[in-house]
Amino acid sequence: MTRVALAFSGGLDTTVCVPLLEEEYGYDDVIGVTVDVGQPAEEFDEAEETAEALGLDHYVVDAREEFAQLCLESVRANATYQGYPLGTALARPVIAEAILEVAEEQNCTGIAHGCTGKGNDQLRFEAVWRSSDLEVIAPVRELGLTREWEQEYAAERDLPVEGGSGGDWSIDTNIWSRSVEGDKLEDPNYVPPRDIYEWTDEPGSETEEIEITFEQGYPVAVDGEEYEPVALIESLNELAGSYGVGRTDTMEDRMLGLKVRENYEHPAATTLLNAHEALEGLVLTQEERQFKKQIDQQWSQKGYEGLIDAPLVSALEGFIAETQTRVTGTVTIRFEGGQARPVARDSKFAAYSAEHASFDTETVGKIKQEDATGVAKYHGFQRRLANEAIAANAADEEVELATDGSGDNEE
């Protein structure tokens, strides 16, 4: 008997995939796998009810702790893509690995998803699955299905989907971010209504300050109370979200070259990333900060591509781990006007001296202020030489033009 494991959400795409995998691909048995990375409870209820109506064996895997740990690794790498924290991108490899484990345990010969051929997720899932011996199937992409065709197919087959629509927006949620896209949001000139947001309130005039504690780059406590990763992220999502922190409306460049309009909510991610970067600014040297920006950018790119297990990432994390040994301390964050702003930071590893930096002290340790005179004389020396040469040559050209008469106007 041939069996295929399907990444199953209970929505239109994956529901339609069930009969298609049997009829178009010839599989005897389809099993559905749903992976918990922090979605709302109602999504699991929908998946369970749909699976039951389809007579589908349904497996639910709890991967929240693994995903939360990866999110905190992304904080150490200051990971963002085109200005927003990586949520969906980081979740996909975790989901793909969990589905693959179930597929192998259940002796499947195939593994399938309901992604289209236009998005990033197909690449992120398959980057994991193609390391196995299982056949990888993508019915929506391979059969060229449209949402309208799927709706008609679902209606004809009386498939258990709510009118085949699933609402006005396409929403993806995990503990690190909530993305909203589709319908009118595809128009870059369309102003989103306030009701697209669920995690973030409209920013108001109220403010609040919290203190976040880091140990070797990992956030571990808020206001002195220690949290496990999942609880830490969830509590900050609620708190920061109540101040309107963490909204992004962006034109995103996908891996396949398409430019798409995306809306994101990420209160905890924004708060932790801002706090972590502020603490790095206190403890890392100038050279470390400059070079780490390149490391962070490469880590973020691989994270966006779903290639977080690439050898390059392991090498990058070697550098990151070394720098994070000193990223221990506290950062005070002020929530105000939809922002999570660092307003204080403290660490025993601070590469900073208030006494040396003060305007009220005459010296910097054993260095006298007058010692900077020589540096000031040399600073910009090459620029001055270059500008003098440019000016001298420009003057010579004007003299030549005047001498040969080529600058005269002749009728």
Annotated binding site: 7-15, 84, 114, 116, 120-121, 124, 170, 179, 252, 264
- Return the bridge partners of 101, or none: none
Alpha carbon distances (Å) from 142 to 32, 117, 122: 19, 8, 11
Report whether 15 contacts 161 (CB < 8 A).
Answer: yes
Q: How far apart are CA 194 and CA 355, in angstroms?
A: 49
First-to-last alpha carbon distance for the chain, in angstroms, is 95
**Catalytic annotation on 13?**
yes
SS3 176: coil
Pair 108, 2: CB distance under 8 Å: no
Binding site listing for L-aspartate: 116, 120-121
Find the catalytic residue in 36, 64, 74, 121.
Answer: 121
DSSP notation for 31-86: EEEEEESS--HHHHHHHHHHHHHHT-EEEEEE-HHHHHHHHHHHHHTT-EETTEE-
Out of 13, 36, 172, 296, which one is annotated catalytic? Answer: 13
Active-site option among 57, 147, 168, 170: 170
Strand order in the sheet with 110-112: 57-62, 29-36, 3-7, 110-112, 135-137
Active-site residue flag, 341 = no
57 is annotated as an active-site residue: no
Binding-site entries for L-citrulline: 84, 120, 124, 170, 179, 252, 264
- 281, with CB counted inside 10 A (0-12, 13-18, 19+), is middle
Per annotation, catalytic residue among 36, 64, 76, 92: 92
Position 295: which residue type?
A: I
The binding site for ATP consists of: 7-15, 114
**Residues classed as catalytic:** 13, 92, 121, 170
